[in-house]
């Protein structure tokens, strides 16, 4: 009573946007802590890139002011997102602490 075999659809896996500085061969963790660690690494790389751009502007060696401003804005937005995630995690933790067992 075996019916036709069901085959997986190739290429239908969801894709996630990643920062251009991340490596594709990086092992992917499955837990929340692994995800936070990867995101903090990406945030740190964006902040370092923005800082280097500011140093280049100060030294007068920056090739394009617009690129540096875009890097600064990207780093600012990434920092805001990570700050919001931190706030939500702390709120959830405090809510769990308030639960009665």
Question: For position 41, what pLDDT does the model report?
Answer: 93
Angle 32-59/65-98 helices, nearest 10 degrees? 150
pLDDT digits (tens, 9 = 90+) for 79-99: 999 999 999 999 999 999 999
Q: CA-CA distance, 19 to 17, in Å (whole number)?
A: 7
pLDDT digits (tens, 9 = 90+) for 26-83: 556 688 889 889 999 999 999 999 999 999 999 988 888 899 999 999 999 999 999 9
């Amino acid at each position: 009573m075996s019916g036709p075999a069901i085959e997986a659809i190739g290429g239908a896996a969801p894709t996630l946007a990643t920062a251009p500085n991340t490596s594709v061969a990086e092992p992917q963790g499955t837990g929340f802590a692994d995800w936070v660690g990867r995101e903090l690494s990406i945030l740190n790389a964006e902040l370092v890139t923005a800082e280097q751009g500011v140093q280049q502007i100060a030294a007068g060696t920056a090739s394009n002011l617009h690129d540096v401003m875009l890097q600064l804005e990207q780093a600012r937005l990434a920092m805001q997102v990570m700050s919001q995630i931190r706030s939500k995690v702390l709120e959830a933790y405090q809510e769990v602490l308030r639960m009665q067992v």
